[in-house]
Amino acid sequence: METYNPLTGYLPLALVFLVAGGMAFAIPLIASMLGPKSVNPIKSETFECGNVTIGSARQRFAVKFYVVALLFIVFDVEAVFLYPWAVNFKALGWFGYTTMSLFAATLIVALAYVWKKGALEWES
């Protein structure tokens, strides 16, 4: 019986990352070597279905997307906090359940607030 080394399980994972990254890098590289090269100014214009492009795309867009990003942080962190509880849930029993309910309740208040405030409306 060898001593348990927690890192051995990660060797295949590291290889997976290597292979995934390698494939993602190699495939376009091969394609760029195989393909023809014929650059011309019209072709390297921004493609807007044939219309002449006006201005740059580096401009502001709707603030709603930022709101969604903020909400995502809040509620995804909530979900993350639920995982350790879920794994130890049977040991923690009703005490843990109540505690997590209170935790979730505060976030439900947040959701209710956000909802009622109209941050989730996209039509208006």
Partner 1 sequence: MQRIGVVGFICGLIVSAIFGAMAAAYGLAGFLEKTLVEKLGIQGGAGIGNMLILMLVFVMVIATLLTLAERKWSALMQDRIGPNRARINLPGLRDQSLAGLPHIATDVIKMLTKEDFQPKAANKFLFNLAPMLAFAPAFALFAIVPAGPTLPVLGYQVQMSVANPDFGLLYIFAIASLAVYGTSLAGWASNNKFALLGGVRASSQMISYEVALGLSLVGMMLAFSTVQLAGPTGMSELQGGYLWRFTEVGGFDVGIPAWGFLLQPLGFVLFFAASFAETKRAPFDVPEGESEIIGYFVEYSGMKFGLFMIAEFVEVVVLAGVIVAIFFGGYYLPFGNEWLKAQTVFVEQPWLLGAVFGTVFWVKVVLLCYVQLAIRWTFPRFRYDQIQTLGWKILLPVGLLNVFVTGAVILWALPEGAATLPAAALIPFLQPLAIVGLVEIAVVVALTLTPREGAESAHADGHGHGHTDTHAPAPSHGATPVASSH
Partner 2 sequence: MPSFSIQDFMPIFPAAILAVGAMALLLSEAFLVSVPHASASRGYQAVIGVITAAFAGTVAFHNAFEDPRVVLQGFAVLDPFSSFVTVVVAVTVGLAVLLSAGFLKHRNAERGEFYALMLFAAAGMSLLALSAEFITLFVNLEVLSVATYALTAYLRRGTRPAEAGFKYFILGAFSGALLLYGAALLYGATGTTKLAGMAEVLRAASSGDKAWLVYCGMVLVATGFAFKVAAVPFHMWTPDVYEGAPTPVTALMSAGVKAAAFVALIRVFVALAPGLGPQVPFVLFGGLALLTMVAGNLMALPQRNVKRMLAYSSVAHAGYVLLGVTALFAPAAGTEGHGMGVLSASPLLGQVPASAHADIYKAILFYLLGYAVTTIGSFGVLAALERREDETRGTTWDLDRFAGLAHSKPGWAIAMAACMLSLGGIPPTVGFMGKLLVFRAAVDAGLLGLAIVGVLTSAAAAYYYLRVVVYMFMRNAAEGAAVPERHWQTDVALAVATAGVILLGILPGPVTAWLTQATMLALR
Please report whether residue 60 would count as binding partner 1 according to CB under 8 A: no
Number of residues that bind partner 1 (CB under 8 A): 73
Please report whether residue 113 would count as binding partner 1 according to CB under 8 A: no
Tally of CA atoms within 13 A in the half-sphere of 107 that contains its CB: 16
Binding partner 1 (rule: CB under 8 A), the pick from 3, 50, 52, 58 is 58
Tally of CA atoms within 13 A in the half-sphere of 79 that contains its CB: 6
Instruction: Decide whether 11 or 77 has the Cβ nearer to partner 2.
Output: 77
Interface residues for partner 1 in 9-38 (CB under 8 A)? 9-13, 15-17, 19-21, 23-25, 27-28, 30-32, 34-38
Calpha distance 90→88 (Å, rounded): 6
φ, ψ of residue 110 in degrees (nearest 5): -60, -40
